Amino acid sequence: MEAVAGLLVMLLAVSHGVETKCDFRKKNGAQCYGALGGTVDLQLMDRAPERLTIYKNTTTILVWTKNTISKYNIKADKYSFTPSDGMLRISNLNRSDTDEYRLQIRNSDGALLDNWTLRLSIQAPVSSVRLVTECMSQGEMRVSCSVEGGDSPQYSWTLDGHTLTEDKLLSGNHETDSITLRQNVEGVLVCSVKNHVSHFNVRISTCGFIFINCTVSKIRITGWVFAATNTLCVEPTTTPTTTDTTVDPSLICGLQTAVAALLFIGIAAYFAWRKNKSQRAEGSAVPQEREDPETSV
């Protein structure tokens, strides 16, 4: 099938400096994600207790005792702890930071009060999204959405803000990276790509094809055409020139009065003429006296 139009859209995303946050307090064994090259904040507790120990697997990260950090086994520029809000920050995340982290809280006598664990996984965020579309000759639209960088990307499609349903698709589904839309689908199409540390949307309008079915100059025309340039069903016509004239209502009233007056005068003249004619006819009907020739001078 021949493609009549194509479009490439690319969204670039900056992945450096992404910050995420995880909470030890939610539940034991919780899953947490950090962005490669970014920073993650681990909420340990509301405030630091008398004695606190944080482990990365079996390695001790720090020990907090009597308001003092008493032990650091890893570089200080990698970890920072804020006792006032119980927050542990891990910076410059790399793949080796993926591990199980454990928090132990003890009282002043050394008795264990809490022992919580959290699993931290480091993912590369999506760095760019590439959207390629093809408008086919019969009105279908083929679209592919791909990413550069990013671990375990997940795809989803919407049309005018609603999840793309199967009745609008010839192939694919709303969770695949490539789809083909049916001919009669119109609207704003959005490809969403995300993982646990990034989320991006790319949008584009559909091809804009319409199905025509008309007769022009006794020729039947049917098929899918590009709506923006379609002239196949336009019948050549000559548009008559029209003049918009506004008439004053008082003028109309005056004309009506004049017509009524003329009509009244015409009727009066007609009856006067009839009367005059009738009188002349009566005068001609009376016999006139004739003079005797013998008496005439």
The predicted structure's pLDDT at residue 249: 55
pLDDT band at 181 (very low <50, low <70, confident <90, very high): very high
Please tell me which of 65-69, 119-123, 137-141, 144-148 the model is most confident about, judged by mean pLDDT.
119-123
pLDDT, tens only, 85-104: 888 899 999 999 999 999 98
pLDDT band at 294 (very low <50, low <70, confident <90, very high): very low
pTM of the model as a whole: 0.63
Compute the average pLDDT of residues 155-182: 91
In this predicted structure, the answer to whether residue 15 has a pLDDT above a threshold of 70 is: no
The predicted structure's pLDDT at residue 293: 42
pLDDT, tens only, 132-141: 888 887 778 9
**Structural domains for the chain:** 3-13+129-208 (2.60.40.10), 19-123 (2.60.40.10)
DSSP states of the chain as a string?
--EEEEEEEEEE---TT-EEEEETTS-TTEEEEEETTSEEEEE--SS--SEEEEEETTEEEEEEETTEEEEE-S-TTTEEEETTTTEEEE-S--GGG-EEEEEEEE-TT--EEEEEEEEEEEEPPP-EEEEEEEEETTS-EEEEEEEES-SS-EEEEEETTEEPPGGGEEE--TTSSEEEE-TT--SEEEEEEEETTEEEEEEEE---EEEEEEEETTEEEEEEEEGGG--TT-----PPP-------HHHHHHHHHHHHHHHHHHHHHHHHHHHHHHHHHHHHTSPPP---TTT--
Compute the average pLDDT of residues 115-142: 88
